[in-house]
Structure 1
């Protein structure tokens, strides 16, 4: 790069100085903080002197984004172009989709939540996956609305979604299906029909109503105790978390404290105002993991500290801040962290999370590294082959040694798997084979769930 420094005469240099002076005077005549004088000067300088015409909207949007970037806070974000806050954004039931919600971060899009029993869940996508491509086309810098529009499509058609998880990339090929917007689902535990399992995928506007209906339904079906599954739940609306927390607490008990930057606290207490008089007094356990965050942690902490309800699973995420969303004009919003929240006993769990009473890790099969390749064949070596061998071993297909080499035993196991699943039995792990492997593994992990077993056992005692 060549940098050319040109000494300027009074004309241009003087113009820059005058612009700054004018900005200062303008600031003094208004309620705009004087610290913004350089920003106004820069804006006027660029708009008046740049050698090309300038999009002023992009300039102001860029200035706002720059301010937020200095906060080093991933939860303070400027949302534009119909990308309204999606704390409760779900794919419409009138479209074919994959059952995942997308959120806008500072410089990327990521999976915010995944609804149960949907293509995204079955394929093995996870909360936090960074969205890169849809059907091979880059969407990483697009708006949420444009990315969602590409994922949606006719029910029964296939969509390929490429994500990044850690340092690995993977493409999930999924058939779109009609997606319901239920954030709460419930069924009796397969191992004990007196235990009702309630899963909350995210906290949004309909969550409280759906939760009440689910509890009533399970009671009628014979549930005498409950497991509340908050795993992979990234949070959502604080009001929904407060209502559900109140249902499990005695009236008058503190369910949440919110503290502003001056130390002033707002205390929320259980009562009819929050829960409308609906209470859950049955024995309960709460499932959490590393992606249980924010509103999930509010709920888990309140149930644990107020009603001695055990937490089962892995340490939670540790998001102890509160965001507010303000309108910034047409189709623009500013989501800003405004306070921190404390558990009923005053603990701030930010970056610490909640520690489970009954610690249960995900099985090794749930931690298999993503496969980058779209095809693996005999003779290949490396981490992708290792992941393939681990998946085959977990599914008990063939007799494979995990050695990172696509050897004869691996080829034979792949061929066996393909035959069993009515795929072309070539012995080469093509994209369809890898996708089917991921789906089968996801189904097995759902069925053989040691965390769920521990939680059911805890409430059945």
Structure 2
């Protein structure tokens, strides 16, 4: 979760004389960002952190003292040696970029990173709510890229990727030594292009080829429950600039259609902007009641309270529940905490992801930005949920087959094959009510017969072999089965009907 970035920036050419200044500024923004993060949330998304006040001026002076006490001579020496004595000619900008990246990496925080011009532009696209890629929130974890959550309706979700899946390779290239920005740059790409990922899920590995797409701008989708038209369903897929108004529009539209009770859903929502999380939380909480707390380094917690003047006048007070799961992270957890602790709205599902830190984004000299962890956030009652998550009031698990592995459409599975992939295939067929006999690792005659039955039912070539179209259709039918048997959603409907 992060504050909105500074939208106005000066473009400067980095020279040798600015090298040390660049490094000093990186130190300065850490203090500036902490102070800014603790200020009351901005009422307009067009405001930027360049509007300074006396506290920020004091912070600059303090930061200058810190920077002046540091010994930058080793940096100057290494820079000079590499520029003048290295075997081949070295570009000065490359050395500066490397130093900035290394400084950000040195704090050993997956959410702190230096962003060059391209990466900065890419992040701003995310905040605006649209970009081209596979559609998944990710973070670096050791030698892998961990999926926090695939975005609803994205190619990543349609391919069967799940929260906590680990990406080991992108198009055959290991991500072990890559920064998160380098890995994301490989994963993203133009709409219609393909990317092949090696996924680690538990003790299993499998390849998945995903066709990139334009990820929808819309962050709120809604509908009436088909069997209970007085229940409205609102799925919040992200927290970006338009989300507050989209939520208000969704609630008002459903109320006009006759909705009297609501199911709100942040499952699989990886988070987004802090301002958006506060605005949405404010919808459900009475003015003056706490929404969340934030805490910077060496500071006492600052309590954010519901405030219609600053966060929006729309208020919601009908009976409702909120669905959460392991893919609900960051801003989703702020909303869940506020709804649960300050609005007494039940949480249904499974424990959330557990991301309790706040990131800030500030410009630095040149064309880049620094994204860094500026503080931690606490729930309304002062609980830090980092790496713990928020527990549901009513715990409901999804069917086991939601965790079955993706079938690689480029591979061919046939009679006589023995592997863990065959066991996974048999589990999928079994979940779809096709008799495979004993579920084991062997593609035997019973497995072949089950495949032929599946192919006949779906008007495919009945050759008993799983590859290409048969693999894709199996995944499509499994996805439909999961959607039709959403046990968490069903529990939410039953709760509203019974209470």
Q: TM-score range by the shorter chain?
A: 0.7 to 0.9
Matches within 5 A, 1:111-126: 114-126=150-162
| Distance in 1 separating the partners of 2:133 and 2:232 | 26
Q: For residue 373 of structure 2, give the secondary structure of its aligned residue in structure 1.
A: strand
- Structure 1: distance between partners of 2:138 and 2:188: 10
Instruction: Give the match for residue 7 of structure 1.
Output: none
**Alignment match of 1:433 (pick from 439, 454, 470):** 470
Structure with larger Rg: 1
Question: Per-residue deviation at 1:370?
Answer: 4.2
Give the whole-Å Cα distance in 2 for the aligned partners of 1:117 and 1:34: 49
Aligned equivalents of 1:254, 1:30: Cα separation in 2: 35
Paired residues of 1:233 and 1:296 also in contact (CA < 8 A): yes
Q: Distance in 2 between matches of 1:191 and 1:460?
A: 12
**SS of 1:445 mapped into structure 2:** helix
Of 242, 256, 279, the residue aligned with 2:292 is: 256
Mapped contact 2:295–2:301 kept (Cα < 8 A): yes
Q: Which residue of 143, 149, 155 corresponds with 2:189?
A: 149
Aligned match of 1:277: 313
Instruction: Check whether the contact 2:271–2:330 (CA below 8 A) recurs between aligned residues.
Output: yes
1:307 aligns with 2:347: no
Check 1:379–1:33 CA distance in 2 against 1; reply closer, same or farther (3 A cut): farther
Deviation at 1:190, TM superposition (A): 2.9
Q: Deviations over 1:81-135 (max 9, x none)?
A: 411236536445xxxx67614657488766565443444433312345455677x
* 2:395 paired with 1:346: no
1:388 pairs, out of 405, 418, 425, with: 425
User: 1: CA distance between counterparts of 2:133 and 2:80?
Assistant: 46
**Residue 422 and residue 304 in structure 1: after superposition, are their counterparts in 2 closer, same or farther (change >3 A)?**
same
CA deviations on 1:44-101 (whole Å, 9 max, x unpaired) are 2222221111132222222222223232211112222411236536445xxxx67614
Distance 1:69 1:179, change over 3 A: closer
Q: 1:456 aligned to 2:456?
A: no
- Asked whether 1:183 is paired with 2:219, we answer yes
- Root-mean-square deviation over aligned CA pairs: 3.0
Gaps of 5+ in 2: 1-19, 25-63
- Tell me the secondary structure at the aligned position of residue 359 of structure 2: strand
Residue in 1 that maps onto 2:9:
none
Contact 2:136 2:147 in 1 (8 A): yes
Secondary structure at the residue paired with 1:287? strand
Residues 1:196 and 2:232 aligned together: yes
* Alignment-derived partner of residue 422 in structure 1: 459
Q: CA deviation at 1:449?
A: 0.5
Going from structure 1 to structure 2, the CA distance change for 1:109 and 1:116 (only over 3 Å counts) comes to same
**Structure 1 segments unaligned to the other structure (5+ residues):** 1-22
Bigger RCO (CA 8 Å, 6+ sep)? 2
What is the TM-score when the length of structure 1 is the normalising length?
A: 0.83
Give the secondary-structure state (helix, strand or coil) at the position aligned to 1:83: helix
In the alignment, the residues of structure 1 paired with residue 403 and residue 363 of structure 2 have an alpha-carbon distance, to the nearest angstrom, of 41
Once the two structures are TM-superposed, the CA of residue 411 in structure 1 deviates from its matched residue by 1.1
Report if aligned partners of 1:168, 1:371 keep a CA contact under 8 Å in 2: no
Distance 1:163 1:89 in 2: 29
Structure 1 pair 443/352, CA: closer, same or farther in 2 (3 Å)? same
Q: Which residue of 1 aligns with 2:199?
A: 164
Q: Contact 1:399–1:409 at 8 Å: present in 2 too?
A: yes
- CA–CA distance in structure 1, aligned partners of residues 468 and 489 of structure 2: 31
Secondary structure of the residue aligned to 1:412 is helix
Aligned to 1:334: 370
The question of whether the paired residues in 2 share the 8 Å contact of 1:385 and 1:404 is answered with yes
The partner residue of 2:127 within 64, 77, 88 is 88
Question: In structure 2, the residue corresponding to 1:361 is in which secondary structure?
Answer: coil
Q: Distance in 2 between matches of 1:30 and 1:71?
A: 17
Distance 1:82 1:278 in 2: 37
How far 1:264 sits from its partner (Å)?
2.7
Equivalent residue in structure 2 for 1:100, among 123, 128, 135? 135
The correspondence of residues 2-13 of structure 1 with structure 2, limited to 5 A, is: none
**Residues 129, 218 of structure 2: 8 Å contact kept:** no
For the residues of structure 1 that align with 2:308 and 2:489, how far apart are their CA atoms?
Answer: 31
